Amino acid sequence: MSQSIIVLAGGDNSLWPDKEVFNQASHIIGVDRGSLEGLRQGLSIDVAVGDFDSLTKEELDYVKQQVPLVKQYPAEKDETDTEIGISVASQLSDEASIILVGGTGGRLDHFLANLWLPFQSRFNHLTSRLIIKDNQNTIAYFLPGDYTIEKEPDKKYLAFVCLTPMTHLSLHDTKYPLDDIEVEVPISYASNEFIGDTAHFSFSSGLMCVIQSKDK
């Protein structure tokens, strides 16, 4: 498995994925309140970023004591704290997966801003490395091409989520295959399933996001 860096945002920690994901990461970057929650859960946070306006002075002091590098930014800035976290992650490695945790649930305007990060021109080059994970979902992104993906052992469902219109979309080795269709509007082809350990898909234009998920 390739190296991974976790960007830990401040979303509800009851939605975090399995500890295993944290154990396998080379670095954990805490985003604002995510830094504090990470420390409270016994994680070793390498860098903390944000305006920290969701923390009390005592909480921020604690983060500063425990985290080797704290980058504090003004509250009214052009980037969100999560965007800064992703940028810092991309500076640590040119290859590692960047796994956003704590970026789902709660406020849906935040979740959608996270879902659409790969549309931002400065993050385009991270598209194939960005993953969003919680306790029921793994979201990965794909630019036009031909792909084989592997089933995650703990997930049941496989969704092909067209974030844009899309041309020549085909799905193979899935319960509900598709053959060379045109997709005119964003659509979530939910509740598909692997029929073996891998599935294949291809498309010629657009941005695809694949979600493997399970019921609670």
179: contact with a second copy by CB under 8 A: no
Q: Record the tokens describing residue 2, joined without a space.
A: 């390739």
Phi, psi (5° rounding) for residue 74?
-65, 155
Which residue from 3, 44, 188, 198 is in contact with a second copy, where contact means CB under 8 A?
A: 188
213: contact with a second copy by CB under 8 A: yes
* DSSP strand pairing (4-8 vs 27-31): parallel
Q: Which is nearer to a second copy, 93 or 177 (CB)?
A: 177
21's torsion region: left (phi>0), alpha (psi -120 to 50) or beta? Answer: alpha
Smallest distance, a second copy to C-beta of residue 103, A: 11
Instruction: Name every residue whose Cβ is closer than 8 Å to that of residue 160 and which is 6 or more positions away in sequence.
Output: 169, 171, 188, 189, 192, 201, 208, 210
Q: Which is nearer to a second copy, 67 or 115 (CB)?
A: 115
Piece of the chain touching a second copy by CB under 8 A; list 42-50, 90-98, 197-205, 208-216: 208-216
Q: Could you give the CA distance from residue 42 to residue 45 in angstroms, rounded to a whole number?
A: 9
Give how many residues touch a second copy by CB under 8 A: 36
Nearest to 99 by CA among 108, 111, 90, 109: 90
Piece of the chain touching a second copy by CB under 8 A; list 43-51, 93-101, 179-187, 193-201: 179-187
Piece of the chain touching a second copy by CB under 8 A; list 39-47, 62-70, 93-101, 185-193: 185-193
Q: Which is nearer to a second copy, 148 or 191 (CB)?
A: 191
57: contact with a second copy by CB under 8 A: no
The sign of the dihedral angle between the CA atoms of 103, 15, 20, 199 is negative
Give how far the C-alpha of residue 37 lies from the chain's centroid of Cα atoms, to the nearest Å. Answer: 18
Interface map 106-145 toward a second copy (x if CB under 8 A): xxxxxxxx-xx--xx-------------x-xx-x------
Smallest distance, a second copy to C-beta of residue 185, A: 4
Smallest distance, a second copy to C-beta of residue 93, A: 26
Q: Could you give the CA distance from residue 56 to residue 204 in angstroms, rounded to a whole number?
A: 49
Q: Could you give the CA distance from residue 139 to residue 112 in angstroms, rounded to a whole number?
A: 12
Q: Could you give the CA distance from residue 62 to residue 39 in angstroms, rounded to a whole number?
A: 9
Binding site for a second copy (CB under 8 A): 12, 80, 104-113, 115-116, 119-120, 134, 136-137, 139, 157, 159, 161, 163-164, 185-188, 190-191, 211, 213-216
